[in-house]
């Protein structure tokens, strides 16, 4: 039986060597390794081989199977290489492939420019986690328990005292908890609120907030800071106005408007024909906020402000719909190279 397997092996390998096409190789494979091929018949007949010869015969059959499979694979690769067209020679005179350059996202452009502007006024950047405690996001900022912003309709609550921050103001609390005055920081970052997405609102947006705390800080300092920022960001002719408002963590509180940089304050579609564009909320830090972080309100005072990055980007670049900032349309983003 071993001699018969050896002769069959030699014959099969000769047929593989003589094959000229893939069809010839497939015929050899079927004849020897197919379901009804010669080798499976040999394996079935092992039960009739004397026990003392069965191991040697099985070993010879397995060796035949492995050798034939290897020969078929090598011959198939050789035939495949022979049918492929030869690769063209490299032409050094051809121009190189020009890959398009990427661009900074408009939100990133505004954040980076804002950071540079405030840096010239002595502000440093502070950052904090997107997941905040209810204490730092609301309680420490003098937000009462009955305020509507604490409801699940307005805020993404994760656990009873953990939430996705609704503003970057908690970073100001973290900084004041860790160091004494003077403090002069800005806190750019991502915020989350349960807003229905439309042309001007998004549940996921960016803010940049500022905090200045020292022994002698006034509303006049706040006005000068925001006026400088407005002219650096929007142009030298931009004016600033303040309107009385209310925020839980500042007193007095104001809304800050910039004169429309498109029409120069005359009235246009961008400013809804009012001549002014609402940009920021601001005010003097409420003494009760200082008490929460252990500051003596009799010794220190300060101002805080906050503004939406997407809103500034939309006004600065003339973007009509906030959703365009997040659709990742390369035709839109390519304009900011």
| Count of structural domains within the chain | 2
CA distance 320 to 327: 14
Residue 228 shares a structural domain with residue 329: yes
Residue 60 shares a structural domain with residue 208: no
pLDDT > 50? residue 84: no
Query: 188: domain range?
Result: 106-336
Residue 116 shares a structural domain with residue 209: yes
Judged by average pLDDT, the poorest of 17-26, 147-156, 297-306 is 17-26
CATH code of the domain containing 128: 3.30.930.10
Residue 62 confidence class, pLDDT cut points 50, 70, 90: confident
**For residue range 274-315, what is the model confidence (pLDDT) as tens digits?**
888 888 999 999 999 999 999 999 999 999 999 999 989 988
Residue 11 covered by a domain: yes
Structure tokens at 243: 């309107």
pLDDT > 70? residue 238: yes
- Output the CA angle 230-235-241, nearest 5 degrees: 40
Residue 96 covered by a domain: no
Query: Three-state SS for 206?
Result: strand
Q: Which residues of 49-59 are buried (b: 16+ CB within 10 A; e: fewer)?
A: beeeeeeebee
Residue 154: exposure state from Cβ atoms within 10 A (0-12, 13-18, ≥19): middle
Closest to 263 (Cα-Cα) out of 233, 239, 228: 239
In Å, what is the CA distance from 1 to each residue of 134, 152, 247? 84, 83, 97
Residue 66 shares a structural domain with residue 157: no
In this prediction, residue 89 carries a pLDDT of 67
Which residues 6+ apart lie within 8 Å of 199 measured at CB?
Answer: 320, 321, 322, 323
pLDDT > 50? residue 225: yes
Residue 192 shares a structural domain with residue 322: yes
Q: Of 129-133, 234-238, 267-271, give the range with the top mean pLDDT.
A: 129-133
Residue 89 covered by a domain: no
Residue 229 shares a structural domain with residue 313: yes
Residue 90 covered by a domain: no
Q: Of 47-56, 109-118, 189-198, 230-239, give the range with the top mean pLDDT.
A: 109-118
pLDDT > 90? residue 128: yes
Residue 100 covered by a domain: no
Identify the bridge partners of residue 312 per DSSP, sorted by sequence position.
none
pLDDT average, residue stretch 76-85:
68
Residue 77 shares a structural domain with residue 127: no
pLDDT > 60? residue 86: no
């Amino acid at each position: 039986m071993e001699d018969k397997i050896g002769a069959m092996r030699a014959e099969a390998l000769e047929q593989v060597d003589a094959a000229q096409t893939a069809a010839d190789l497939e015929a050899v494979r079927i004849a020897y390794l197919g379901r009804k091929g010669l080798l499976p018949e040999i394996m079935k007949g092992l039960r009739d081989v004397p026990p003392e010869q069965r191991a040697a015969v099985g070993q010879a059959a397995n060796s035949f199977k492995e050798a034939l499979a290897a020969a078929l694979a090598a011959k198939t690769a050789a035939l495949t290489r022979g049918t492929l067209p030869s690769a063209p020679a490299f032409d050094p005179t051809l121009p190189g492939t020009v890959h398009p350059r990427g661009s900074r996202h408009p939100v990133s452009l505004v954040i980076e420019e804002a950071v540079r502007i405030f840096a010239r006024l002595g502000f440093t950047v502070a950052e904090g986690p997107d997941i905040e405690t209810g204490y730092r996001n609301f309680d420490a900022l003098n937000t009462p328990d009955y305020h509507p912003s604490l409801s699940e309709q307005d805020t993404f609550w994760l656990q009873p005292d953990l939430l996705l921050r609704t503003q970057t103001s908690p970073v100001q609390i973290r900084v004041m908890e860790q160091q004494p005055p003077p403090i002069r920081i800005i806190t750019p970052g991502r915020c989350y609120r349960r807003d229905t997405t439309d042309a001007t609102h998004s549940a996921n947006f960016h803010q940049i907030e500022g905090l200045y705390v020292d022994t002698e800080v006034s509303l006049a300092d706040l006005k000068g800071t925001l006026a400088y920022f407005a002219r650096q960001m929007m142009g030298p002719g931009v004016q600033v106005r303040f309107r009385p408002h209310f925020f839980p963590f500042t007193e007095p509180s104001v809304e800050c408007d910039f004169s429309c940089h498109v029409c120069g304050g005359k009235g246009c579609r961008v400013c809804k024909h009012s001549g002014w564009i609402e940009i920021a909320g601001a005010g003097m830090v409420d003494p009760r906020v200082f008490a929460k972080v252990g500051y003596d309100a009799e010794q220190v005072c300060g101002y805080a402000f906050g503004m939406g990055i997407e809103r500034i980007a939309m006004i600065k670049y003339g973007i009509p719909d906030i959703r365009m900032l997040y659709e990742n349309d390369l035709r839109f983003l390519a304009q900011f190279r």
